[in-house]
Amino acid sequence: MGKTAIITGGGSGLGQSAALRLADEGVNISVVDISEEGGNDTVGRLKEKGVDAIFIKADVSKADEVKNYVDKTLEHFGSVDYFFNNAGISGSGKNFLETDIKEIDQIVGINLLGALYGLRYVAEAMLKNGGGSIVNTASSAGVTGQASVVTYGATKHGIVGMTKSLVAEYAKDGLRVNAIAPGPTETPMVKKFFEDNPDMKESAEAGIPQKRLGTPEEVAELVAFLLTSKAQYINGDTIRIDGGFTNTK
């Protein structure tokens, strides 16, 4: 039946691009997203590529909905081989002391708890089947300190930590877990953030040695490499993909 991947945030941006790239490898996909429109759009594109795909609506900040997307994937495909633990939000870009407590709760709920819940249920399913491969989405804000994204940065530093710790516990059982740390990338989330904070886009582009934003397709190539058998001895790492943005800091 082939390999199966779960991709959260699969209705747009990095998640959708990674799904399409994995379909080129013949991987079947469970597309998880809060947006039915985006999720179904991705499923349609995947089926055009000849792979099996289903959409599962989920708010990843709710543990029962995370468990449900794992259960439905197992019911439909029988196993989970790959997991792109990717769903996330950026926040308003306000300075931390101007940030509403509700926004802090929302960012932590989706970015940090949502990622932990996903790891909890997906890793459990993988280990019952001999192991699997996971890629968590961190950020350049998860490997350096950046102004105006304190809560977001805290969650993305947490992604790096959970990646390392999960490997320390379960690599011996066949689990590979890595993280990616994209810099500013041309996704709907980043575009919206820069629309709301135009001065930050100019600052970001000026700070990238390659003088441009990354593309979702470039990130998808890295995700596909890390998930598949081509990267068997890479484990517990966080790979920066940011045009040199953080390596010069």
- 120-161 tens-digit pLDDT: 999 999 999 999 999 999 999 999 999 889 999 999 999 999
Note if 152 is an active site residue: yes
Residues 6+ apart with CB under 8 A from 161: none
pTM for this predicted structure: 0.95
Determine which one of 117, 152, 170, 233 is catalytic: 152
Please give the pLDDT value at position 1.
65
- What is the largest distance, in Å, between two alpha-carbon atoms of the chain? 52
pLDDT band for 249, please (50, 70, 90 cuts).
low
- 227-248 tens-digit pLDDT: 998 999 999 999 999 999 998 7
Mean per-residue pLDDT for 4-31?
Answer: 98
CATH fold label, 4-240: Rossmann fold (3.40.50)
